[in-house]
Amino acid sequence: MKTISENACFGGTQGVYSHTSTACSCEMTFGLFLPAEASDGPVPVLWYLSGLTCTHENAMTKAGAQSWAAEHGIALVFPDTSPRGDDVADDEAYDLGKGAGFYVNATQDPWQPHFQMWDYIAEELPALIGANFAVDLTRQGITGHSMGGHGALTLAMNLPGRYTSVSAFAPIANPTASDWGRKQLTAYLGEDDAAWAKHDATLLMQENGFDGPVLIDQGASDQFLDLLKPEALAAAIAAKRQQGTFRMQPGYDHSYFFVSTFMEDHIAFHADALYGA
């Protein structure tokens, strides 16, 4: 593991690190904020998964999350959204390939050799961070925005007991029924849509639900509402009688202005769950 940068931040440290990923067969970069409390021992962890076109850096610099994480003594992990490198497959479209890993393990060429983002987020990166930093992997929450909200919800519902709490900002909520989903799931996983179900938050909510609290915020003026399909997930939450809150926020769009506005609420939500665990 290489240290790219470390900066003092709200009494703690905002670091950026890179390492050779076995899962993705390339060099991967991630951001990690450690609050001041980490100098005294392991602290709870909140994962933030970013959306299409993003790297580790977008939320790290735009979401305003560190100040609230410092207030609650929580570490923040900002992974990248896809494998990177000259030999990594890509596509001319912004919503496939680099920057658009969709948090799945690809089974189809040319994506399969590197696009193993599920294993990277669920297994490899937690093990690396747990071995090198003062974090408590028995207390983990997960959140994300757009494609990252999709990833957060699907990881949480597929890995019972792993995460104490899950939240999302404008998640791609029903990708098997959306052009933000069907295109990518076909490319990465193949034509058999039975393989897609574990990567659809609405279908997972209908079938499994989540064994903890859920918080979803969606901008009512989001320019991508027809692609996100929040109404499908909201209906599934209600039908499942899931312990959760779905909030439609008037006037807000899909941008980081929206994310940063409600970041305080989301970190407080996770803090309540993580420190109550």
Q: Which residues are catalytic?
A: 146, 222, 254
97 near 90, Cβ under 8 Å? yes
Residue 216: phi, psi to the nearest 5?
A: -125, 130
Round to whole Å and give the CA distance between 227 and 224: 5
Rounded to the nearest 10°, the torsion over CA 156, 82, 124, 255 is -40
Round to whole Å and give the CA distance between 256 and 162: 27
- C-alpha to C-alpha distances, 176 to 92, 98, 101, nearest whole angstrom: 22, 21, 16
Three-state DSSP class for 236?
helix
Residue 116: phi, psi to the nearest 5?
A: -115, 55
Which residue shows structure tokens 């305080």?
A: 264
Single-letter amino acid, residue 267: I
Round to whole Å and give the CA distance between 277 and 269: 13
DSSP 13: E
Round to whole Å and give the CA distance between 149 and 18: 23
